Amino acid sequence: MRNLPTAINLSTAGNHALAHLRRPGPVLAAALIFLLCLACGASQRATTLQTAELVVNTAGAGIMLYDKQHQEDLARAGTPDQAAAALAAYRAKRATLNRALTAAVDAIIVAIKLNDQPSLDGLAAAVAEVIKDYQALKGTAP
């Protein structure tokens, strides 16, 4: 993912902090903070942008940590045909999340450059899509 001027770069946070991303809790907590920031008004624009980036980075880092082991677990489960079907389904969900993450990063860039309400609305929709796709991938969708 691209680093933006307002970045909270999780790669510098250390492995200990990233180890907690294997669970969905950090992404959901960051998502809640993001939604609260949207309600704060225009004076909180920078905080909203930074929090949106935190949600996107946290989801991306969480999936990077989760992905390899999960695919190995799926490959070992059931018959070869069942494993292949499970891997294909997982990889389709992963591709959907990858597209959502890319769209959210692009929405952050647009919101930084345009500095208007429609760009924040687009950012909110993009982050909501990341959260939805992350939950679907990790099996935590309501």
d(CA 35, CA 42): 14
Compare 12 and 80 and report the one with higher pLDDT.
80
Residue 73 covered by a domain? no
Specify the pLDDT at position 7: 35
Q: Does the pLDDT value for residue 28 go beyond 70?
A: no
Position 43 scores a pLDDT of 62
Any domain includes 110? yes
| pLDDT value, residue 9 | 34
- Residue 141 φ/ψ, nearest 5 degrees: -65, 140
User: Is 40 inside any structural domain?
Assistant: yes
Containing structural domain, residue 35? 24-65+95-138
Q: Map residue 29 onto helix, strand or coil.
A: helix
The structure tokens listed for 14 are 């250390």
Amino acid identity of 57?
N
Q: What is the amino acid identity at position 24?
A: P
Residue 5: inside a domain: no
Dihedral angle of Cα 35, 41, 45, 51, to the nearest 10 degrees: -20
* Amino acid identity for residue 52 in this structure: A
Q: Say which amino acid occupies 14.
A: G
Whether 9 maps to a domain, the answer reads no
> How many independent structural domains does the chain possess?
1
The greatest distance separating any two alpha carbons of the chain, rounded to the nearest whole angstrom, comes to 56
For the segment 34-71, what is each residue's pLDDT rounded down to a tens digit? Answer: 555 555 555 678 888 988 999 999 999 989 889 999 99
**Domain presence at residue 8:** no
Q: Could you read off the pLDDT of 78-116 as tens digits, one per residue?
A: 899 999 999 999 999 999 999 999 999 999 999 999 988
H/E element, 64 = helix 45-76
Residue 123, in any domain of the structure: yes
Give residues with Cβ within 8 angstroms of 97, minimum separation 6.
Answer: 59, 63, 130, 133, 134, 136, 137
Domain assignment of residue 1, yes or no: no
